[in-house]
Amino acid sequence: MMEIRTPKTHKAKRVLEKRAPKLVENGKKTLILHGTKTSATVSSVLMELYRLKKGGAIKYSRRNENIRPFESGGETSLEFFSLKTDCSIFVYGSHTKKRPDNLVLGRMYDHHVYDLIEVGIENFRSLLSFSYDKKIAPHEGSKPFICFTGEGFENVPELKQLKEVLTDLFRGEVVENLNLTGLDRAYICTAVSPTKVFLTHCAIKLKKSGTIVPRIELVEVGPSMDLVIRRNRLPNEGLRKEAMKSSKDKPKKKVKNVDQDDVLGKLGRVYIPEQEVGKIPLPDKSKGVKRERREGKVKKNKEEGSASKKLKESE
Amino acid sequence: MDTEMDQIYQIDVGNLLAFNPNHRFSSAPSSREELVKECVTEGTKLVQAIADTLFNFPSTESVDGPLVQLPPPTTKLPREKHLPRPKPPTKWEEFALKKGIQKRKKDKIVYDETTDKFKRRHGYDRVNDDNDIPIIEAKASDEPGEDPFAKRLDDKKKRVDKQQKNRLQNLKSAAKAGALPSHVQLAASALPITGTKAQPKKLGKEELGDVAGLAATSTASGGKFDKKLPGEKPPKKQGKHHKYLPVVPRYGWVDEEKEQTNKVLGKLLSKHSHEILNVGKAINMYNDKKEKKKSGRSDKLKPKKDITKKKPYANKANK
C-alpha cells in the first residue's frame, strides 16, 4: 500500500523544491570530510578549503571509516551524505602510509559518483603563514578568477580532468550580473609537470591605469600547495553524455509569423487551418444540457407560480 | 574567445576562467620561490586578460558599484542532477485531450441565485454548500428508512475517496516515468497483509524498557546480579512497593487508613457473600419450611396449578 506524503510546512516545501532537478541549476555545494586517519596537513587543507568555500560547503568533522571512494562498495556512504546534504562535489581527505596526505576530489551526478580524482598534497603552506595587508583580504563568497597555465592541461587526460574538477569546485554560483568592485580573489593553477600542479590562492589589487581597465596585481594570501596526481576515474561515456546534456542544446526556435512594424508595432500572422467539417467534435446536445431548454422551463414555472421540481443540473 | 595578445589564451568570461595552453617552463626553476613567482606572474597576465574584456562591458550603476552583465559560460560542465523529465498526462488530461475539452478559467466569486448575492466558489460561505441545504425533498426513488443528509455526506466521502485513489494512480504513473513532483513522496505505509487480524501494536520505548525489568524480577535473585548492557538504565523502583498511610489522620481530613481497610473488607465480603452463612436467617428459613410441610400441602383456597397448560409469551418475556 502506498501513501502520498507531502510536506506539512512551507519551509519544508521550499527546501524540497530547491533540491529538485531543474533546467537551470543552483550552484554545486561541496561536502568536505575525512577518513580514518588524517595528518595535520590534510586536516588544515580541508579546514582552509571549507573557509574558502564558506557559503556553499558542508564540513563533516567526524571520521568516516567505511568510505573508500575507489572501491566499488565504499561509495554508498558518500552517496547517502550527498543525498542528505544535497552536495554534488566532495573532497575526501585521508592519510595512509601508502598514500600520505591524500585528497580525493569527486563529483556526483544524481547523487551517484560521476568521476573521481586522487591527488597528493605536497609543500602545503597554510593561510596563516602568509602575511599581507589585511585590507585586501578577499571577502567571503566572492566570485573568483580561475587561471590555468601550462600545456599539460590540454595534453594530459588526468590534468584535463583535474582542470574540470577544479573549475567546478571553485566556480560557485553562475551569475548573470557581476559587481566589478567585488572581484577580489583568484585561483592560479600551473602545470609544473605532467603529474604535478601548483595551486595557489591570491587576492586582487586593482591599480589605476590610464584606461578604464585597471592594472591587476596579485598578492598571495591563501593556501598554496602542490597537487600530485595519483589515481583517477573517468565517467563512463553514457553517463558523461547524459550529464553534459543541457536544455540549450536545441537552438532556440525562431519565432515565426511575428513582424515588427514601425507604425503599427508588433504584427502577427494567423493561419487558419482547413476546416474538415466531417471531423469536428460535436457539441454535447443532450436534452438536459441545453440552456434554452433550462431557461425556458424556469420561465414556465415562474409563470405558473407553482412549486417546481428542481432540475438536475448537469455540468 | 581569443584575445589579440602574443599568446592566445582561452578565456571564458562567464566563468571568469582563463587558460593559457602555451606556457612551458623554459628552464627548471631554481628554487621554490622562483617557481611561485613565475606562476603568479603568469596568473596575473591571465587575470589581466579577463579583466580587459570584463571592464569593457557596458556597466550599469547600482548602490554597491558598477554592475556588468556576464555572458553565459562557454565551458561545459556536467550537470548536478538530471534534466527534469516530462510528466505523463493524467487520466483526466488524456480524456480531455481525446474529447477536446478545454480548460475554462473559473471565477473566484460566483453569483448565488438562492441568496441573490455574490459568494466565493470555494471556502467559507461558499456557493452551493452541501451543509446549507435545510430541506431535501423526498423523491419516489428514496427508501423509507434512509437519511438523505447522511446519504449526501456518504456520497461526498465516496467521491473524495475515489479522487484520492485516482490521484495516487496518477502519481504512481508519474513516479514510474521518473517525473514525480518535487514536493511529493510516495511511501509504503505499513498495513497488515492479513485482512482480519488487527495491526500488531508497536511497543513504545518505555514499554520495552519495562519488559527487561519484568524479566529480571523473575530471576532467583530478583535481577540484582544480571549483567547490564551498555546504555541500559537501572531498574526503576527496587524492593517492595508499599505506601503506608498515616494512622492518625490530619484534622479535618478523611481517615485514609481506615478507608483503605474498609475498602478491602468490603471487597472481600461482597466477593464471598454467597459463601458467608447468616446463621439466624438460615434457622428461620429452615423453621418456615418445616412448618409448611407439617401444615400440609393441600391448601384448598389456593387455585391448583395446571402444569400442562402453556404460559403465554408475555410472561416469558418478563422473566
Q: Where are the domains of chain B?
A: 10-68, 90-131
- Mutation choice for A interface testing from B16, B64, B135 by most A CBs within 10 A: B16
* B139-174 residue pLDDT tens: 887 788 888 888 889 999 999 999 999 999 999 999
| Rounded-to-integer distance, Cα B149 and Cα A305, Å | 28
The CA radius of gyration of chain B, in Å to the nearest whole number, is 47
pLDDT category of residue A82 using cuts at 50, 70 and 90: very high
Is 80 exceeded by the pLDDT of residue B122? yes
| Rounded-to-integer distance, Cα A130 and Cα A219, Å | 10
Q: What is the pLDDT of residue B252?
A: 79
| Rounded-to-integer distance, Cα B38 and Cα B7, Å | 16
Is 80 exceeded by the pLDDT of residue B124? yes
Intra-chain end-to-end CA distance of chain A, in Å:
34
Is 70 exceeded by the pLDDT of residue B200? no
| Rounded-to-integer distance, Cα A150 and Cα A170, Å | 19
Is 60 exceeded by the pLDDT of residue B317? no
Contact A274, A298 (CB under 8 A): no
Q: Given B21, B47, B69, which is nearest A153 (Cβ)?
A: B21
| Rounded-to-integer distance, Cα A147 and Cα A190, Å | 8
Contact A69, A113 (CB under 8 A): yes
In angstroms, what separates the C-alpha of B234 from chain A's closest C-alpha?
A: 31
Q: What is the pLDDT of residue B302?
A: 61
List, in order, residues 6 or more apart from B248 with CB less than 8 Å away: none
Is 70 exceeded by the pLDDT of residue B34? yes
Nearest to A119 by CA among A161, A75, A63: A161
Nearest to A113 by CA among A186, A42, A165, A171: A165
Cβ contact, residue pair A151, B51, below 8 Å: no
List, in order, residues 6 or more apart from A243 with CB less than 8 Å away: A109, A114, A235, B78, B79
Mean pLDDT of the region B284-289? 92
List, in order, residues 6 or more apart from B68 with CB less than 8 Å away: A177, A178, A179, A180, B54, B57, B58, B59, B60
Q: What is the pLDDT of residue A250?
A: 61
Q: Kindly state the cell numbers that stand for B273.
A: 457473600
**Chain A interface includes B191 (CB < 8 A):** yes
Candidate from B35-39, B105-109, B151-155, B212-216 with smallest mean pLDDT? B212-216
**Which residues on chain B are in Cβ contact (under 8 Å) with A17?**
182-183
The β-bridge partners of B12 are B17
**Which residues on chain A are in Cβ contact (under 8 Å) with B18?**
145-148
Domains of chain A and CATH, by start: 25-232 (3.40.50.10480)
| Rounded-to-integer distance, Cα A249 and Cα A221, Å | 40
pLDDT category of residue B196 using cuts at 50, 70 and 90: low
Q: Given A20, A23, A246, which is nearest B182 (Cβ)?
A: A20
Q: What is the pLDDT of residue A253?
A: 72
Contact A59, A33 (CB under 8 A): yes
Q: Given A28, A176, A198, which is nearest B80 (Cβ)?
A: A28
Mean pLDDT of the region B61-70? 88
| Rounded-to-integer distance, Cα B121 and Cα B147, Å | 27
Cβ contact, residue pair A216, B51, below 8 Å: yes
Q: Given B44, B46, B79, which is nearest A109 (Cβ)?
A: B79
Mean pLDDT of the region A4-20? 93
Is 60 exceeded by the pLDDT of residue B4? no
Q: Given B62, B184, B191, which is nearest A4 (Cβ)?
A: B184
Cβ contact, residue pair A163, B77, below 8 Å: no
List, in order, residues 6 or more apart from A214 with CB less than 8 Å away: A206, A207, A208, B51, B55
| Rounded-to-integer distance, Cα A119 and Cα A102, Å | 6
Cβ contact, residue pair B56, A246, below 8 Å: no
Is 70 exceeded by the pLDDT of residue B311? no
Contact B91, B169 (CB under 8 A): yes
pLDDT category of residue B312 using cuts at 50, 70 and 90: low
Where do we find the cell 480524456? B95
Is 60 exceeded by the pLDDT of residue B235? yes
Q: In a 3-state reduction of DSSP, which class is residue A314?
A: coil
The secondary element (H helix, E strand) that includes residue A44 is helix A40-52
Mean pLDDT of the region A36-64? 93
List, in order, residues 6 or more apart from A49 with CB less than 8 Å away: A30, A32, A57, A91, A223
Q: What is the pLDDT of residue B171?
A: 94
How deeply is B102 buried, as exposed, middle or buried, from its count of CB atoms within 10 A (0-12, 13-18, 19+)? exposed
Q: What is the pLDDT of residue A315?
A: 43
A–B CB contacts, 8 A cutoff, strictly below: 216
The secondary element (H helix, E strand) that includes residue B226 is none
* B217-230 residue pLDDT tens: 888 887 778 777 77
| Rounded-to-integer distance, Cα B57 and Cα B159, Å | 61
The CA radius of gyration of chain A, in Å to the nearest whole number, is 31
pLDDT category of residue B258 using cuts at 50, 70 and 90: confident
User: What average pLDDT does chain B have?
Assistant: 82
pLDDT category of residue A311 using cuts at 50, 70 and 90: very low
Torsion of CA B43, B46, B51, B57, to 10 degrees: -160
Cβ contact, residue pair B17, A167, below 8 Å: yes
List, in order, residues 6 or more apart from B15 with CB less than 8 Å away: A146, A167, A171, A174, B73, B74, B75
- pLDDT > 90: what percent of chain A? 56
In angstroms, what separates the C-alpha of A74 from chain B's closest C-alpha?
A: 21
The β-bridge partners of A86 are none
β-pair type (B17-20, A145-149): parallel
> Hey, what amino acid is at B180?
L
Is 60 exceeded by the pLDDT of residue A271? yes
pLDDT category of residue A314 using cuts at 50, 70 and 90: very low
Is 80 exceeded by the pLDDT of residue A208? yes
Q: In a 3-state reduction of DSSP, which class is residue B270?
A: helix
Candidate from A205-209, A295-299, B180-184 with smallest mean pLDDT? A295-299
* A246-269 residue pLDDT tens: 776 666 678 888 888 888 889 999
Contact B65, A178 (CB under 8 A): no
User: What average pLDDT does chain A have?
Assistant: 88
Q: What is the pLDDT of residue B87?
A: 92
What's the predicted TM-score (pTM) here?
0.66
Where do we find the cell 407560480? A305
Is 80 exceeded by the pLDDT of residue A289? no
| Rounded-to-integer distance, Cα B253 and Cα A21, Å | 72
* A86-96 residue pLDDT tens: 999 999 999 99
How deeply is A130 buried, as exposed, middle or buried, from its count of CB atoms within 10 A (0-12, 13-18, 19+)? middle
Candidate from A13-22, A107-116, A297-306 with smallest mean pLDDT? A297-306
* A138-167 residue pLDDT tens: 888 899 999 999 989 999 999 999 999 999
